[in-house]
Amino acid sequence: MRLFRKQILFLCDSLILVSVTAVLALFSFRYSWLEDIVSQGLLVTHIALLLACTTAFQLFFRNYDSLWRYAEDREYLFLLASAFLGFLAYEILSRFVLRGGVIPFLLLTSIAGFWVLGMLMVRFSYRFYRRQVLHRKNARQVPVAVIGAGSAGVQLLEELQNNPDSRYCVQCFFDDDPSKIGRRIHNIDVKGSIKDIPARLRAMDIQEIIVAIPSISEHRRHAILKELAGLDRVKITVLPSTLELIGQKPIRTQLRDIQIEDLLEREPVRLDSAPVDSFLGGKVVMVTGGGGSIGSELCRQIAKHAPKKLIVVDIYENNAYDIQQELLYKYRDRLDLCVEIASIRDAGRVRQLFAQYRPEVVFHAAAHKHVPLMENSPQEAVRNNVFGTLNLVRAADEYSVSKFIQISTDKAVNPTSVMGATKRLCEMILQSMKGSSSTDFAAVRFGNVLGSNGSVIPLFKRQIAAGGPVTVTDRRIIRYFMTIPEAAQLVLQAGAMARQNELYVLDMGHAVKIWDLAENLIRLSGATPGVDIKIVETGLRPGEKLYEELLVANRDIIKTVNDKIFVEHQPAITPRELEEKLAILEAALAMDNPGIIRDALHKVVPTFHEPEELNTKQGEVVRIPAQ
């Protein structure tokens, strides 16, 4: 039927027209005009002419090309227009072309009216069949409520009602617009405002709520999701916050599970791209660790700014291959891309790459960053993070790189871990170059990155999908979060404004309590914390803080032209002081003893504390700010 849909619909319309004309003609047989037409053998000719005229305008308006299950006002108006113009054309031709009797105007009008009514009945019956009969074949439909009775919510409802593959059955709407409450949209009630949801749902078997308000602010979205998190055994899904996606593919495919970004109580960071365009456009840019979560996003965003050449350096060939293929597929010949497999520990290989490509801008994202693993292998963290960075800094200085941007972390602030201490030492390496190099060295610090390798969020999602338990190291632990694109934008923006030996930090907004985060993710997945999925407190991991430092609480912080980016002034360190620190570390590495290496880090990084000391102090004085 799908292959011959047009032909079947044309046949139905033709049969209706012929049948209506024949029946009404029989009822009018006693009139002389019909006797004249029949006696002259013109009845069939009149019917054929009427069918030809109406069909011509049906084809002109492309009525048979429409998918009537998605029909709107435009399709029905075209249907009426084609009927009117077809009968008008018949009236003119029958009077001036055919010889003999003509069908009276009143009868012709009756035929037209019944024909249009018949065509509408066929199309409405088809839509009813698809909505009722075909949908009932899917016996496992999920009863849902839709928040938002605006254009996006109505578009979603129409697709869910019209698509037989939909697993959703919309039961009701909720909307804060008083003019919509109590009304019906496509036979679906608008039950009440958003604050009425908990009371209304008690009497309804709703298994899922779809938030279909793409235009709301992040603050309002957070408030809605926070209220919905109190519902038991109701899963929450949302439409994305960009209307452009809705037009690209079916709206039902845009539904996604709740993500941690939806629960961050701040607007996404938006940075001005104009300075980055002039900073990177036409430049040779190198990204170390370019296959990692941060490095690969840096490569994606750098490619948008038309660099002369992009060099991706990574030790792990699988990740490097993935980003290479992604960029080649997207940009093809518009991007001069080179991928090199190399370790930043190898000073000779690093110098070889700098001599070969002569990069003008370097983004250094290669590092060991997993806190507990580096506690067990401090020698690897020191060799890779510290001495690998030293190799890059020296090569950048030797080959006159214009700007060198180091990716740092909030864990470098009063570090309690080997990883944090090594990253703080990397910042010192950059600071030691002040006044002795033509290269502008700068570091960029940010908090936990959502979705990055080793992030807690993917772990929580896997644990929830498996039915639990969800593991949280400590009930009191809090963190500041940002998305991978936000982190990459910050790095590029800081690179554009960087001056020699500056340290940039980002205003991360409100802290997120990890325990509350786990509870909310469980609730919004349709389960009840502690009942359906348990949360288990496992204890702090080696080197882990209860609370990361507030990045903008330091009195030595100065705001830049962007109110989300700050410059932190650190005490200067001379090249001689750095050499002394590196000598201590080299001697410790030669002993190949984790305890000795850790002691050496305490000597060279004065702010490096044991986690027990800092966590005890923090646990006494730090509180989560009121949300």
Catalytic sites, residue numbers: 411
Q: Considering just the CA atoms, what is the radius of gyration of the chain in Å?
A: 35
DSSP, collapsed to helix, strand or coil, labels residue 310 as strand
Give strand pairing partners of 381: none
284-288 and 256-257 strand pairing: unpaired
Hey, how many other C-beta atoms are within 10 angstroms of the C-beta on 587? Answer: 12
DSSP, collapsed to helix, strand or coil, labels residue 622 as coil
Rounded CA-CA distance 579/591 in Å is 19
Hey, how many other C-beta atoms are within 10 angstroms of the C-beta on 169? Answer: 14
Cβ(304)–Cβ(526) under 8 Å?
A: no
Phi, psi of 173 (to 5 degrees): -110, 155
The angle at the Cα of 382, spanning 493 to 440, to the nearest 5 degrees, equals 30
Q: At what angle do helices 73-96 and 105-128 cross, to 10 degrees?
A: 150
Rounded CA-CA distance 356/570 in Å is 34
Cβ(227)–Cβ(174) under 8 Å?
A: no
| Maximal C-alpha separation, the chain | 120
Report in angstroms the alpha-carbon separations of 599 from 418, 421, 589, 602: 10, 11, 11, 5
Residue with tokens 């190291």, as numbered in its chain: 473
Cβ(424)–Cβ(608) under 8 Å?
A: yes
The angle at the Cα of 264, spanning 412 to 266, to the nearest 5 degrees, equals 90
Q: Residue 323, Cα to own-chain centre: how many angstroms?
A: 19
Q: Residue 313, Cα to own-chain centre: how many angstroms?
A: 27
